[in-house]
Structure 1
Amino acid sequence: MIETVFRSEDVPVEDRFDRWRELMRQCTAPLELDSEYREDFRASQRLLDLDGIIVWPTKFQPVQFRRTAKLIRQSDPEQVNISIPVDGTLYVIRDGHEMAYSPRSLCVIDSSREIEVRTTACQVGIGLDVPKALLPLPGDGIERLCRYRLSGREGFGALLISFLSQLARDATCYQKTDGVKLAKIAVDLLSALITHHLETDDTISPDSHRRILAMRMRQFIRENASDPGLTPGSVAAAHHISVSYSHRIFKDQGTTIAAMIRRVRLEGACRNLVDPALRNVTVQTISTRWGFASHSSFTRAFHAAYGISPRDYRQQDGVGTRTR
C-alpha cells in the first residue's frame, strides 16, 4: 500500500490549486477542474494505492469537474469511480440531466462517459477507483448503474462505506504488503453492490460470497452487541445459514463468532469506562449495557483480554492498555 498526502497549507498559495489538480490526475480519469477559490485554494487529500485500487479521502472547497469527449479520446483508464459525499452534496450532470447526491449516497461514474460534477459548498468525501475489468459488469451494466443513486445507509452500500471510512480514518495499522488484501475486500464489496442492483448475483465467486457474508455478520454483531440475546445461533439465524456453516466462515477469518461478540462488547465497555460523561455510571451498569450476563463474567473476560480489572482500567483512563 502506497500513501500520498496533500495539504494545501504545505504549498505556496499560488501553487495550491495546480498541485491539487495534479494529485487528482493520479487517482482518477483526467478532468477539467475549475474553482472560484483557485487563487487561494484549500484542500486536503490522501491517496491510498491498494495494488492498483485507489481510495482517496478528500476535503476541498467548491469545485467544478468536467470530463469531456476530448479528454476521453486522449486518455481512458477504463475504470469505475465511486464518489461518496460525507459532508456536502454532489451535483452530477449526465446527458443534460442533473442528479443530486447527498451524504452517504454513492455516485457511480464511468471514465468512458462525459460528465460534469459540481459542489456548492466545502466538500468532504471518499473516492474509490476500480478498473472495470475487475468488476462483474454485463454489457450495459455500467450505464444502468450510473442512473442509480445508490444508498450507503443499508446493505452492501453501508458495508462498502464502513470499510472505506475505517480505512480513511487510520491506514497506519496496515503494512505495505496488506494492499493486496485490502484491494480484494474493496473489489468484493463493490462487486456485491453491483450484482445486487443489477440482479446478476451468479457472477460473484464462492470465495467472494463467503468474505462478503463474513463482513455482513461482523457488521450485524457491531450493531447488536448490546443485546444480551446475541449469540452465534442468533447471528447465523439472522443471515439464514446454519450455525455450523457460520463457524466455518469465521474459522476462515481466524476467529470465532463468540470471540467476535466478546471483543466488540469489551471494546464498547472500554469506551464507556473512560468516557467523562459516564464517570458516575457504575461498572456493573456498563457491563449490563454491553450484554454481559453478569458482572463477574464481564470482569473475568475483561481481565483475560486486557490484564487489568475494569475498575483499574477506568482509574488509569485506559492508557497503554491493549487487547491480548
Structure 2
Amino acid sequence: MIETVFRSEDVPAGDRFDRWRELMRQCTAPLELDSEYREDFQASQRLLDLDGIVVWPTKFQPVRFRRTAKLIRQSDPEQVNISIPVDGTLYVIRDGHEMAYGPQTLCVVDSSREIEVRTTAHQVGIGFDVPKALLPLSGDGIERLCRYRLSGREGFGALLTSFLSQIAKDTTSYQKTDGGKLAKIAVDLLSALITHHLGTDDVISPDSHRRILAMRVRQFIRQNASNPDLTPRSVAVAHHISVSYLHRIFNDQGITIAAMIRHVRLEGACRDLANPALRNVAVQTIAARWGFASHSTFTRAFRAAYGILPRDYRQQEDMSTRTR
C-alpha cells in the first residue's frame, strides 16, 4: 500500500488549489476543476494505492468538476469511480439531468462519459477508483448503474462503505504488502453490489461469493452480538445457508463461528468496562448486555482471553484514566 497525503495548510495559499488539482489527477480521470475559493483553497486528501485501485478520503471547499468530451478523447483510463459523501451533497449532471447524492449514498461515475459535479458546501467523502476490466460489467451495465442512487446504509452498499471507511480511518494496522489483499476485498464487494443491482449474480466467482459471504456474516455478528440467542445456527439461518457450510467458510480462515461471536462480545464488554460513563453499571449487567448467559460464563471467557478478571480490568482502566 502506497499512501500520499495532501494538506492545504502545508502549501502557500496561492498554490493550494493547483497542488490539490494535481493530486486529483493522480486518482481520477482528467477533470476541469474550478472553485470560488481557489485563492486560498482549504482541502485535505489522502491517496491510498492498493495495488492498482485507489481509495481517496478527502475534505474540500465547494468545487465544480467537469469531465468533457475533449478530456475523454485526450485520456480515458477506462475506470469506474465511486464517490461516497460523508458530509455534504454532490450534485451530478449527466445528459442534462441532475441528481443529488447526500451522505451515505454511492454515486457511480464512468470515466468514458461526460459529467459535471458540483458541491455547494464543505465536502467530506471517500472516492474509490477501479478499472472496469476488474468488474462484472458488460453491454450497457455501466450506463444502467450510473442511473442508480445506491444506498450506503444497507446491503452490499453498507458493506462497501464500511470497508472503505475503515481503510480510510486507519492504515497503521496494515503492512505495505497488504494492498493487494485489500484491493481484492474491495473489488469483490463492489462486484457484488453491481451484480445485485443489475441482476447478474451468476457472474461472480465462487471464491468471491465466499469472501463476500464471510464479510456479511462478520457484520451480522457485530450488529447482533448483544442478542443472547445468537448462535452459529441462527447466523446460518439468517444467511440461508447450512451450519456445516458456514463452518467450512470460517475454518479456512482459522476461526470458528462460536469463537468469533465470543470475541466480538468480549470486545464490546471491554469497551463498556473501560468507559468512565458506565463506571456504576454492574459487571454482570454489562455481561448480560453483551449476550453472555451468566456472570460466571462471562468471567471465565474474559479471563481466558485477557488474563485478568473483568472487575480488575475495570479498576485498571479507571486508574489509568485518572492518572492521564
* Deviation digits for residues 15-60 of structure 1 (CA, Å, limit 9, x no counterpart): 1111111111111111111111111111111110000110011111
Partner amino acid for 2:49?
A: D
> Secondary structure, in 3 states, of the residue corresponding to 1:133?
helix
- Report SS of the residue matched to 1:117: strand
Deviation (angstroms), 1:254: 2.1
CA distance in 1 between counterparts of 2:254 and 2:179 reads 19
Counterpart-to-counterpart distance in 2, 1:228 and 1:29 = 49
Are 2:289 and 1:304 aligned?
A: no
Equivalent residue pairs, number: 320
SS of residue matched to 2:240: coil
State the alpha-carbon separation in 2 of the partners of residues 88 and 303 from structure 1.
Answer: 45
Instruction: Tell me the residue number matched to 1:112.
Output: 112
Counterpart contact for 1:270–1:318, Cα < 8 Å: no
Q: Secondary structure at the match of 1:317?
A: helix
Matches of 2:250 and 2:318, distance apart in 1: 29
Moved beyond 2 Å, runs of 4+: none
1:172-209, Cα deviation, whole Å (9 max, x unpaired): 10001101100000000000000000001111000000
Q: Is 2:276–2:318's contact at 8 Å kept on the other side of the alignment?
A: no
SS at match of 2:248: helix
Q: In structure 2, what residue type is equivalent to 1:182?
A: L
Are positions 1:29 and 2:36 aligned together?
no
Matched, 1:188 2:185: no
Aligned residue number for residue 53 of structure 2: 53
Matches within 5 A, 1:1-324: 1-317=1-317
Q: Percent same amino acid at aligned positions? A: 87
Letter aligned with residue 267 of structure 1: E
Offset, 1:253:
2.2
| 1:147-177 superposed Cα distances (whole Å, 9 cap, x missing partner) | 0000111110000001001111111100011
Unmatched segments (≥5 aa) in structure 2? none
Give SS of 1:91's match. Answer: strand
Gaps in structure 1 of 5+ consecutive residues: none
Scaled by the length of structure 2, what TM-score is found?
0.97
Do 2:58 and 2:126's aligned partners in 1 also have CA atoms closer than 8 Å?
Answer: yes
Q: Aligned with 1:15: secondary structure?
A: helix
RMSD over aligned CA atoms reads: 1.1
Query: TM-score of the superposition, structure 1-length normalised?
Result: 0.97
For 2:40 and 2:263, the matched residues in 1 are separated by: 47
Whole-angstrom distance in 1 between the partners of 2:119 and 2:233: 47
| Displacement of 1:318 | 8.0
1: distance between equivalents of 2:318 and 2:244? 36
Alpha-carbon distance in structure 2 between the residues aligned to 1:167 and 1:196: 24
